[in-house]
Structure 1
Amino acid sequence: MSQSDEKLEAIRAQLKKGVAPQKETVRSFLLWFGAERRGYRVVRQIRYRLKKFGLATSPDFEYSYIDGYIGFVHAPSEEDSKATEVGTTAADPTYRLARLESANKPPVSVKPDATLEQAITLMLTSDFSQLPVMTTLRDVKGVVSWKTIGSRLALKRPCAAVRDRMEPAHLVSIEDSMFSAIAAITAHDYVLVQGRDKSICGIITASDLNVQFLRLAEPFLIVGEIENGIRRILHGKFTSKELEEAKGPGDDGRTIEGVADLTFGEYIRLIESEKRWKKLNLAVDRAEFVSRLNKIREVRNDVMHFDPDGLEPSDMELLREFAQFLKRLRDVGAV
């Protein structure tokens, strides 16, 4: 029995006895299965194992913050739930704020009676643009920011304590969609995040949003750049018959009118033969070029299936390096 099966069997036994199993972080849970990220293959494997032992995680491991805790419960019966088929994603694929690191880090804050100098010192030393004003994690009085400080100074209003320079806080739930929070973050430069227990569990700033969108968008953009580069290399080099021959088996109904109609795997099939490769007139090693393309194809599949934890750094480096390689070929007029 594998390590993951042993752990799941022990959890099932605990639940049968009415004992609550120990909670695990999503990260440590993934390690049971020899994984570090929640790619679609990993998620499919884990869901299969959980179903085998009649278990589920709460909250769902796929949509939780990777360093957040999950518990284990009996899986709902098929009659009581609208469970998806084994191997598919869960029923709710919404990209929630709960996945963001910044939504899971309680923010530095000040109390209403703190002096303005205390708030300014915290903001300067930590490079913050705003600070929540709270008495407890559940009692938010407002937010003080460079904007509120500056506007009151300009109006020459006497302000000794933070309470004199704060404005109402803008709150969102950790269960909200990231996209539904964009408007508020854009308008106010931040939102405070309330956890499931209504306590403040994080702050998301416009800077956090920019970083997250870069992380999400960069792999898609680089893959698109690589595909365009490959199409440019192949364009006009092959006959219609050769393009048709590169088509995948069992796909006779699809018409191939040009390189753009081929899939990424078919690009590789097209240039695998030495005879066709010579038509490209590239002074690079064919075997190495095709090998790299195959690696790109595998990473591309992960990108298109969307991994909430992003790609492995080595995979991102592979994409960047190959995109740069294609650019160098264009720069020297090789294609």
Structure 2
Amino acid sequence: MVRPVAEETPTDPGARTMHLIGGRRVTVSDLQAAGLLPAGTRLRFDRKRIGTSFEATVTDQGRIRLDAGGEEFRSPSRAAAVAAGMRAVDGWRAWQLAGQDRLLDSVRQDFLDQAIATVAADRRNATRQCVHERLRRARGNADGGTPERVSVRDLLALWGAADRGEQVGRIEADLANHGLVTSPNFRAVTLDTVVALSTPPDDEAATAEPATAEDRPVTGDDEGDTDLDVRLTVGNLSPLRGVESVAPNSTLDEAVTKMQLNDYSQLAVLNGPRNLRGAVTWRSIALVARQRSAGTVAEAIDPHVELVTYDRDLVEVLPLLRQREFVFVADESRSIAGIVTTADVARHFGVLATPFFQLGEIDQTLRWVLGRAMDIGTVRRLCTRAVRGFDDLTLGDYQRILENKEAWDALGWPLDRPSFIARLDEIRLIRNKVMHFHPDPMPENVVDTLRRFTNLLHHYREPA
């Protein structure tokens, strides 16, 4: 695992280049500005499967102008999709420089190498260099047919991230700049799910690339770089590690034993990894047992089961879960790779909601304490913004108020004010992160920090 190094604001030209592309996708304009793709360069997109070619020209504004129709696009993927009438294409690997048999993606890689070489000796950019080298190596392995596999947690750690929060946009841009995608999509699975760093499929199969604004059908302006993706998916709840299953010709004794050993209420009935025959449940076993002595799973199969893809919106699946109590989950290869139950949903939302409710309790307790210890006039004087009453106060306001010694003394607490304020500031930052509502639960130490602070407030609130 690469140890992340703190970044600082770059000052030299090369560093400015790396800072510029950090967090966004490289554009044709970037290549043009670097002298790697002059205006007038001719491009060609060959669809060998159907024997058709499309041609275009790089304009002075760093856009791709299609010969047929004259439409211009900043995104190579949009240009290729419109030219070929396809839903989505990885344009960087579709367009090649006419007469050179060289992909536009190769020019992009030269741009990245050139930019990183300029700042290689500057330790302030060590993180960017490490990421570049790591992804360049992964791209080589993917091109060689042996894509690297890594857990989402370890992938995020390359950027110094512990969850899919603020750095997701940067991570997606860096992967895209190196011509890589994760399979399955790292956004739509659990942190411990293992993903492959691979290249998007060629030509018609390119629709497998994670959806972004540049890969969607063109309806107007093509200036957007990325798509907003803040969904909670089925895969965020279920690790894609396979499911416990039985075959239709298995004995009921085998099914019951596996269910009891694992404390399961149901098992998948499979004829191969992609052929879901149904499920065997305690209910289906009981129904058969009342009628006759069943010997095999086939006699107790409940065929009315639901199969959903891992990247399906969880909100869309909730009605199915209420009705069926569980759904099976398919991975990107359509293999049965997981199961989500109503208990999983309740547990996940409980984990996500715990810090939210803890913060609410801290907020209300501090408001109650200050309301008993001082009047609203004092509060307004100490706040740096206009507040109408105690109900308008935020964690930042509490911090500013209690930084005042007289206000602190009014509480009568035998506590160290700087230590208390430092912890309150830490909780303010936790609150900001919680309110971003990304799908990853808070680390356990965060929940413990909130719990201990709540307990302290409960202990000292009465003397106020």
User: What range is the shorter-chain TM-score in?
Assistant: 0.7 to 0.9
Deviation at 1:33, TM superposition (A): 1.8
Instruction: Give 3-state SS (helix, strand or coil) of 2:373's partner.
Output: coil
Instruction: Give 3-state SS (helix, strand or coil) of 2:400's partner.
Output: helix
Deviation at 1:137, TM superposition (A): 1.3
What pairs with 1:33-112 in structure 2 (closer than 5 Å)?
A: 33-40=159-166, 42-46=167-171, 49=174, 53=177, 57-58=181-182, 60-66=185-191, 67-71=193-197, 90-100=227-237, 102-112=238-248
Aligned to 1:138: 274
Instruction: Give 3-state SS (helix, strand or coil) of 2:352's partner.
Output: helix
Aligned to 1:166: 301
Q: Is the 8 A contact 2:142 2:199 kept in 1?
A: no
What pairs with 1:249-268 in structure 2 (closer than 5 Å)?
A: 251=385, 255-268=386-399
Q: Does 1:309 align with 2:433?
A: no
Q: Does 1:273 align with 2:404?
A: yes
Q: Is the 8 A contact 2:230 2:438 kept in 1?
A: no
Q: Is the 8 A contact 2:149 2:194 kept in 1?
A: no
1:180-236 deviation digits (Å, cap 9, x = unpaired): 222222222211112222211101122211211111111111111111111111114
Aligned to 1:334: 463
Deviation at 1:245, TM superposition (A): 3.0
Q: What is the distance in 2 between the residues matched to 1:17 and 1:116?
A: 45
Query: Identity rate of aligned residues, in percent?
Result: 28
Instruction: Give 3-state SS (helix, strand or coil) of 2:431's partner.
Output: helix
Instruction: Give 3-state SS (helix, strand or coil) of 2:197's partner.
Output: strand
Equivalent in 31, 40, 46 of residue 157 of structure 2:
31
CA pair 38-125 structure 1, distance change in 2 beyond 3 A? same
Q: Does 1:114 align with 2:238?
A: no
* Paired letter, 2:143: V
CA pair 83-197 structure 1, distance change in 2 beyond 3 A? farther
Q: Is the 8 A contact 1:133 1:140 kept in 2?
A: yes
1:226-275 deviation digits (Å, cap 9, x = unpaired): 11111111114334443223333xx5xxx412122122111100110111
Aligned to 1:298: 429
Instruction: Give 3-state SS (helix, strand or coil) of 1:279's partner.
Output: helix
TM-score, with length taken from structure 2: 0.62
Deviation at 1:72, TM superposition (A): 5.3
Q: Is the 8 A contact 1:83 1:91 kept in 2?
A: no
CA pair 315-73 structure 1, distance change in 2 beyond 3 A? same
Stretches of structure 2 that go unaligned for 5 or more consecutive residues are: 1-119, 121-125, 201-208, 217-221
Q: Is the 8 A contact 2:131 2:159 kept in 1?
A: no
**Greater CA drift, 212-221 or 180-189:** 180-189
Aligned to 2:129: 5
Q: What is the distance in 2 between the residues matched to 1:192 and 1:161?
A: 22
Q: Is the 8 A contact 2:325 2:341 kept in 1?
A: yes
TM-score, with length taken from structure 1: 0.84
Q: What is the distance in 1 between the residues matched to 2:175 and 2:158?
A: 12
Q: What is the distance in 2 between the residues matched to 1:195 and 1:301?
A: 33
What pairs with 1:118-129 in structure 2 (closer than 5 Å)?
A: 118-129=254-265
* Paired letter, 1:210: A
Instruction: Give 3-state SS (helix, strand or coil) of 2:435's partner.
Output: helix
Q: What is the distance in 2 between the residues matched to 1:103 and 1:16?
A: 28
Q: Is the 8 A contact 1:12 1:55 kept in 2?
A: no
Larger Rg computed on CA atoms: 2
Q: Is the 8 A contact 1:123 1:131 kept in 2?
A: yes
CA pair 47-247 structure 1, distance change in 2 beyond 3 A? farther
* Paired letter, 1:229: T
Aligned to 2:292: 157
**Greater CA drift, 59-68 or 73-82:** 73-82
Q: Is the 8 A contact 1:23 1:72 kept in 2?
A: no
Q: What is the distance in 2 between the residues matched to 1:17 and 1:291?
A: 47
1:91-111 deviation digits (Å, cap 9, x = unpaired): 2211111222x2412111000
1:13-36 deviation digits (Å, cap 9, x = unpaired): 886999366454322222222233
Q: What is the distance in 2 between the residues matched to 1:97 and 1:170?
A: 13
Q: Is the 8 A contact 2:250 2:296 kept in 1?
A: yes
Q: What is the distance in 2 between the residues matched to 1:193 and 1:109?
A: 13
Q: Is the 8 A contact 1:11 1:72 kept in 2?
A: no
CA pair 49-166 structure 1, distance change in 2 beyond 3 A? closer
The two structures, once aligned, show a CA RMSD in angstroms of 3.0
**Greater CA drift, 184-193 or 123-132:** 184-193
